[in-house]
Amino acid sequence: MQALRSFIFTLWMYGLMVVMGLLFLPLLAGPVPWVKVVVLLWIRLVFWGLRVFCGVTLRIEGKEHLPKGGALIACKHQAMVDVLWPWLVCDFPALIFKKELSLMPIFGWYALKLQNVMIDRGGYATALRSMVRQSIALAEQDRQILIFPEGTRGEPGAALPYKPGVAALYMQMNTPCVPVALNSGLHWPAHGMMRTPGVITVRILPPIAPGLKRKEFMQTLQDKIESASAELLADEIC
C-alpha cells in the first residue's frame, strides 16, 4: 500500500510541476516576485501531498539561526526534498545547480528566471571561480546561497568527503555560514519512489562567523553537520 501511495505522490509532484509550469509560463516574462509566488505555491502543495499521500511531515528547527540578508547555507544532502525546504524559511534562496539542469523543460526555465547559481562541473577551476563570482553577486542582493558540501546525495549515516567549493565560498563571500543537518533520507530516499511515513527533521545550527582559516572552517563545518545529523538518525532509530 505504501508503494502505491508513494507512486501517487510522485505523480502529484511532477504532475503539478508540468501543469503549473505551463499554466503560469507567461509570468516568466514578468517580474521575478511573481515567479517566486508560483514556485512557493508549488512547494507548499508538494509538502501537502507528501503529508496526505505518504504520511511524511516536515519539521524545521532553529529558524532563529538564519541571518537576515546574504548568507551561505551549507546543508547535508540526502534527498530531493533538501532543495525545497529552504523556500519555506529563507527570504529568497539561491541554489547551486549543475548547468545541465537549466536545459530541462519547465524546471530549467524557472530556475534560470530565479537566478540560481549554475555551474559546469566539468570546468573545475573555471567552474569554481564562476560559482564564487555568481554567489557573491547574489549575496550582495541579500540572497541566501544554498550549497551541499558533499556535492551529491548520500545515504543516512554516510559521511561523504566535503568538497572544496564550500570553503571557497566561505573565504570569498565574507558572510556567515549556516550549517544544516537533516534526516530526510530516512523518509525520502536518494533513489526510487518509496516514501516512508515519519517526520523529516531539518536542524538549522548556529552560524559560523566569517574569518576562520580554510582548514579550521572545513573541520568545524563538518563536525557540526555530521554530529547533528548523527543525533537525528539516532533519535529516529530510538
pLDDT tens for each residue of 193-219: 899 999 999 999 999 999 999 999 999
Interval 83-103: pLDDT, tens: 999 999 999 999 998 888 778
- Residue whose C-alpha is closest to residue 169's, from 111, 233, 112, 95: 95
Domains of the chain, first to last: 57-237 (3.40.1130.10)
Residues in contact with 12: Cβ distance below 8 Å, sequence separation at least 6, in sequence order:
46, 49, 53
Of 99, 100, 72, 98, nearest to 86 by C-alpha is 72
SS3 category, 116: coil
Q: Which residues on neighbouring strands pair with residue 137, listed in sequence order?
A: none
Of 9-18, 64-73, 101-110, least confident by mean pLDDT is 101-110
Q: Give the model's pLDDT for residue 69.
A: 87
Q: Which residues contact 121 (CB under 8 A, 6 or more apart)?
A: 98, 99, 127
Where residue 118 falls (left for φ over 0; alpha for ψ -120 to 50; beta otherwise) is beta
Cα radius of gyration (the chain):
17
pLDDT higher than threshold 80 for residue 238 = no
Handedness of CA 120, 67, 77, 36 (dihedral sign): negative
The pLDDT score that the predictor gives to residue 100 is 82
pLDDT of residue 122: 67
The predicted model scores a pTM of 0.93
For all residues of the chain together, what is the average pLDDT?
93
Measured distance CA(90)–CA(94) in Å, rounded = 10
- Reported as a single tens digit per residue, the pLDDT across 116-169 is 998 877 667 788 888 999 999 999 999 999 999 998 898 998 888 999 999 999
Confidence of residue 16 (pLDDT cuts 50, 70, 90): very high
Q: Are 80 and 188 in contact (CB under 8 A)?
A: yes
Mean pLDDT of 160-188: 94
Is the model's pLDDT at 11 over the cut of 80? Answer: yes
Measured from the Cβ of residue 152, the count of other Cβ atoms closer than 10 Å reads 9
| Percent above pLDDT 90 for the chain | 78
* pLDDT number for residue 123: 66
Q: Provide the pLDDT for residue 191.
A: 86
pLDDT at 149: 94
Q: In this predicted structure, what is the pLDDT of residue 13?
A: 97
* Gap between the Cα atoms of 43 and 216, Å rounded: 36
CB atoms within 10 A of CB 4: 9
